[in-house]
Amino acid sequence: MSVNGDRPLIDPARLAGLAWEDLPVLHDQLVTLLDELSTSAWLTAAFDHVLATPELLLQSERLQELDRVVLVNDAASGVRVRLHVFRDREFDRPHNHRWTFGNRVLAGSYRHYLYGDYEDLTTDTTIGAPCLVRDETPGTGYVIRHTLVHSVAAVPDTTSLIVRGPAAKDRFVVMNNETGEAWWQYGHSVEDEAEIAKRRLGPEKVTGIRDLLIRQGVIR
């Protein structure tokens, strides 16, 4: 996890000091951190490191709605930094998360729907209409607790940077507004290895994502 072989991409002590249980404090910490991580220099170094690190390449994968590249995985703190790329269609399914996270949009945009906080969300929970709708554009961001239900509808190739905290649970709920269906999704620790392997991006696709950031002017 280094830029030049002796200096880490992010100081591990800084990651260990993030206040995941105190959202106002965490917000200020992540705004500052994401300001630094969103720079061309840091992202260039991070992608170089990913392509040279088999462990990170194995964690970078294609999901139904987006590609995600794991740039930093700090095992001691449970913190990960990921680059997300929304692909060629809009995607809008309400869901919560297994972890609290901060986000920064780098390029593109998406419509962001927030449904409210559901501490004990299950597949049987009925959620109402969104209580807040906002457009996320380059430079905007937010910090979301793992209990909040939200969804996004993205312009193709929208890119964003995520700093996620340690897992607070082993599963989360995804809902389909059109069919009324809801289902659990799980972390890698309980998934089948063959299914995980099918989703891996590999170095060619990760290089392609870096090239996309160059075209977007995020990396120069």
| Domain of 115, in residue numbers | 12-216
The pLDDT assigned to 196 comes to: 77
Per-residue pLDDT of the chain (220 residues; tens, 9 = 90+): 344 455 789 999 999 999 999 999 999 999 999 999 999 999 999 999 999 999 999 999 998 889 999 999 999 999 999 999 998 666 679 999 999 999 999 999 999 999 999 999 999 999 989 999 999 999 999 999 999 999 999 999 999 999 999 999 999 999 998 888 999 988 766 667 777 788 899 999 999 999 999 999 999 8
CATH of the domain at 36: 2.60.120.10
pLDDT number for residue 90: 64
How high is the pLDDT of residue 187? 76
Residue 192 lies in a domain: yes
Query: CB pairs under 8 A, 24+ apart, for 213-220?
Result: 213/43, 213/47, 213/83, 213/106, 213/107, 213/159, 216/106, 216/107, 216/108, 216/157, 216/159, 217/107, 218/38, 218/40, 218/43, 218/106, 218/107, 218/159, 219/40, 219/43, 219/44, 219/47, 220/40
The pTM for the full model equals 0.92
Measure the CA–CA gap between 110 and 66, rounded to whole angstroms: 13
How many domains does the chain divide into? 1
1 within a domain of the structure (yes/no): no
Cα–Cα nearest to 67, from 52, 53, 50? 50
